[in-house]
Structure 1
Amino acid sequence: MPAWSRAYVRHVEGLNYRIGRFAMYLLFVMMAVLLYSSASKVVKLPANWTLEMAQFLLVAYYLLGAPYSFQLGTNVRMDLLYSRLSPRTQALWDVFTVFALIFYLGVMLYGATDSTIYSFEVGERSPTAWRPYLWPIKLVICFSFVLMILQAIAHLIRDVAILRGREI
């Protein structure tokens, strides 16, 4: 495999590894927000921002962790036949299916980008009592789709290398 392809895989997987490890800790932040929510209700001073903030943190946790999960191979897959295939046949099947994944993620990124631009232009806010701006979480969603596309391309490069007999 050319040096640029090995460098691409190394850089993308390094970036997704660091962002994925960071995203793991968002779970603790979300737990702290929900704990604060429970404690504030006990003292009869409920905070109106905690539930929505926990939802935003969950979105960031889930979507920023997806490329890391894909990188580690811990993503959900229909494994009835796939696990019985040889590594080379698995790579061939992955080369075929990764194009469907990239297409799907491209469509999702297109829609998310359009929604983020609209949200930013009109100052879209959540229709709740807290009324936070929605563009920051939509920007995180767009960023995570970009990371996932980059990881899917890295996965494609790895599979092509396996098919050529030169594993990265």
Structure 2
Amino acid sequence: MRILLKLSGWIDALNTAVGRGVTWLVLIVAIISAGNAVMRKLFSLSSNSWLELQWYLFGAIFLLAAGFTFLRNEHVRVDVLAQKLPERAQVGIEIFGVIFFLMPAACLVLWLSIPFFWESYITHELSSNTDGLIRWPAKLLIPVGFFLLILAGISHLIKCVGFLRGQCSNPMQVSNGKSAEEALVEDILAQQHAGQVQPDTHGR
């Protein structure tokens, strides 16, 4: 089990590195999008290449960060009932879901996306739009993204089994013990409360 947990750590490190790198794409997309808008509005200039580059980068953000998002437990969950169960029962349900739902679906998409990418690569497929980009880099994102998600699923399974055996902490808890939704709600409520208790600067 110790070897498997070490493998899980390597997988998590890989997905963390990819996820942190992908966050910079958000800034790049914002700059490109703003640049396109400025050039189009002020100078009546536009380019399909830059527009398609935005789409490619959006795809990269969502596909390449999927494994990191799963690692951080940030994917949407419908666990209204499961969250009321004991931790060990929750982890058991998690193992069942990963084995019978996540892994088959992710493996199927990976399997089907490889020839989809390969055909585009060997034919040097180009966009049908004028000045469009080559298509295979965008299609390559699909198998790469789902491969990283599969690795994240394997790592998650290892940690779930390790938790049931008492060899690691609960992998379903994020670092602060709260889900992203819970943290967001608390932040909104805190801001509302701060706005209500601000001192009256007009002396009323």
Q: TM-score, normalised by structure 1?
A: 0.94
Tell whether the 8 Å contact from 1:40 to 1:47 is kept in structure 2 after alignment. no
Moved over 2 A (4+): none
- Deviation string, structure 1 residues 81-112 (Cα, Å, up to 9, x no partner): 12212221111001111012111000000111
1:15 corresponds to 2:5: no
Tell me the distance in 2 between the aligned counterparts of 1:149 and 1:87: 24
Q: Which moved more, 1:42-51 or 1:30-39?
A: 42-51
Contact 2:16 2:68 in 1 (8 A): yes
Cross-structure match for 2:174: none
Query: Are 1:71 and 2:65 counterparts?
Result: no
* Aligned-residue offset at 1:47: 2.3
Deviations 1:60-87 (A, max 9, x none): 0011111111001111111211221222
Distance in 2 (CA, whole Å) between partners of 1:81 and 1:51 is: 44
Aligned pairs, number: 167
For residues 57 and 102 of structure 1, the distance between their equivalents in structure 2, rounded to whole angstroms, comes to 25
Structure 2 counterpart of 1:19, one-letter code: V
Q: What is the match of residue 146 of structure 1?
A: 147
Distance in 1 of aligned mates of 2:95 and 2:45: 55
Identify the structure with the greater helix proportion: 1
Matches within 5 A, 1:18-167: 18-41=17-40, 42-99=42-99, 100-167=101-168
Q: Letter of the aligned partner of 2:160 in structure 1?
A: D
**Residue 161 of structure 1 aligns to which amino acid in structure 2?**
G
Segments of 5+ residues of structure 2 without an aligned counterpart are: 170-204
Contact 1:125 1:131 in 2 (8 A): yes
Q: Aligned partners of 1:133 and 1:82: how far apart in 2?
A: 46
- Point out the structure with max Rg over C-alpha: 2
CA distance in 2, matches of 1:79, 1:91: 12
Give the CA deviation at 1:125: 1.6
For 1:35 and 1:29, locate their aligned partners in 2 and report how far apart those are by CA, in whole Å.
10
1:147 is aligned with what amino acid? L
CA RMSD of aligned residues (A): 1.2
